[in-house]
């Protein structure tokens, strides 16, 4: 009887330990959920900030284009446009990257134009 009582007491202690561990883990889960909600809120806020900045960038780009047009008119309407032709030899070495529609990078040198037309641009696109 004494050994059964000891086993029962030991089982009760283990059960209490497991109960405390379950409670601790439940608290950890609650804390993790709270942190996750905070992070989700912050992510949504940052996504809104990114959209706002993208909108501002587009507006600034449009404003800059208008200002460039005004400057061109004041200077005699001279515009510099670049049309990149397709390479005749596909094995030809060229480090050409398009950054934006008004900038290109060739062999680590950046060039800025009023407009850059890619190799796949049509004649119609160029002359519009």
Instruction: Please tell me whether residue 103 adopts helix, strand or coil conformation.
Output: strand
H or E segment and range at residue 55: helix 2-75
pLDDT of residue 81: 82
Q: Which two tokens stand for residue 125?
A: 């696109």
Q: pTM to 2 decimals? A: 0.45
pLDDT of residue 22: 96
pLDDT of residue 79: 76
E strand spans, 5-119: 81-83, 96-100, 103-106, 109-112, 115-117
- Pick the closest to residue 68 from 117, 101, 105, 109 (CA basis): 101
pLDDT of residue 90: 65
> DSSP letters along 63-86, please?
HHHHHHHHHHHHHTS---EEEPPP
The dihedrals phi and psi of 102, each to the nearest 5 degrees, come to: -125, 10
Sequential pLDDT tens for the chain (128 residues): 778 888 888 899 999 999 999 999 999 999 999 999 999 999 999 999 999 999 999 999 999 988 988 887 777 767 788 888 777 776 665 667 666 778 888 877 888 888 888 877 888 887 77
The whole-angstrom separation of Cα 25 and Cα 31 is: 10
pLDDT of residue 15: 94
């Amino acid at each position: 009887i004494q050994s059964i009582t000891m086993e029962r007491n030991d089982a009760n202690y283990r059960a209490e330990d497991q109960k405390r561990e379950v409670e601790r883990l439940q608290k950890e889960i609650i804390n993790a959920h709270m942190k996750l909600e905070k992070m989700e809120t912050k992510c949504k806020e940052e996504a809104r900030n990114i959209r706002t900045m993208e909108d501002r960038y587009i507006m600034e780009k449009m404003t800059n284009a208008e200002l460039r047009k005004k400057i061109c008119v004041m200077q005699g309407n001279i515009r510099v446009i670049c049309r990149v032709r397709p390479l005749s030899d596909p094995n030809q070495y060229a480090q050409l990257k398009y950054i934006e529609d008004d900038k290109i990078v060739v062999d680590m040198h950046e060039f800025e134009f009023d407009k850059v037309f890619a190799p796949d641009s049509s004649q119609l696109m160029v002359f519009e």
